[in-house]
Amino acid sequence: MNEPAVRAGGEAEPRRPGPEALGRTLLSFVEEMKGFITYGVDDPRAGETAGDREPFSFRLTITADDAARFLTEPEHTARAEGWIEAAGCGGRRPVQRGWFNLFAPAGGQDRRVMKYRLHFTDGAGRPRTLSGQKNVLHGPPTRIWPDTSTLYVRLYEGHLTEDQEPGAAVTGAGVLHIQLTDFARQLTTFRTVGPDGAGTLLEFGRFFAGELWDTYTEQSDE
């Protein structure tokens, strides 16, 4: 049950209607990824294997407040909430603002990307941005699992938008993965709030499978 927000001074704000009252269906799921990063490098692959790498992980709740819009808009943007964890960032740090893009276009029908952008502060209170990308590329179906479970990440100084990344200071880089046990758990976390929840889950499944089919199967001759 959603409690009303409280303004400064203790006065309660009017309760905002939930998605069901607006005729929308909310869709959410939880994702956990783990891997390694190295500080002082900007190449994720090098950061994953360097000798002075350190463990890095996150746990996010991905939420599309309007599932129908999420599935139809080109960027397929949802919000991401949760935490990141790394010793060099001060341990477990809450995500202050986060964005997730599912199968966003990336310059051609044979390439899609899943993008993650997380704003947080490190243990010293300095703003940081995690920018991550999963590359979904045309190829044999055997690439579906490694492509959709591998996230290449960079850490930046400041809270940045994507347009601000070129030339920005990179503090570290690495690669995160979804482990099979975590993926199995993720499948149990899908939730809906609002009308036609079962239909929304079905539409999401069709969308996800359709995007993979379009990317990994042979393209028609031009």
DSSP bridge pairs for 151: 176
* pLDDT at 133 exceeding the cut of 70: yes
Coil/strand/helix, residue 138: coil
Tell me which residue of 158, 153, 36 sits closest to 97, measured CA to CA: 158
The answer to whether 109 touches 214, Cβ cutoff 8 Å, is yes
Q: Would you give the distance in Å from CA 156 to the centre of its chain?
A: 17
Q: Would you give the distance in Å from CA 164 to the centre of its chain?
A: 19
Residues 191-216 have pLDDT tens digits of: 999 998 999 999 999 988 888 877 77
Q: State the pLDDT confidence band at 20, using cuts at 50, 70 and 90.
A: low
Residues 70-112 have pLDDT tens digits of: 999 999 999 999 999 999 999 999 999 999 999 888 766 667 8
* pLDDT at 113 exceeding the cut of 60: yes
* pTM beyond cutoff 0.75: yes
Residues 150-193 have pLDDT tens digits of: 999 999 999 999 999 999 999 999 999 999 899 999 999 999 99
- What would the 3-class secondary structure string for 45-94 be? HHHHHCCCCEEEEEEEEEEECCHHHHHHCCCCEEEEEEEEEEHHHCEEEE
Lowest mean pLDDT among 22-26, 30-34, 41-45: 22-26
Q: What is the pLDDT of residue 5?
A: 44
Tokens of 202: 């079905």
Q: Within a 13 Å sphere around the CA of 10, how many CA atoms are in the beta-carbon half?
A: 0
The CA-CA-CA angle for residues 53, 55, 61, to 5°, reads 140
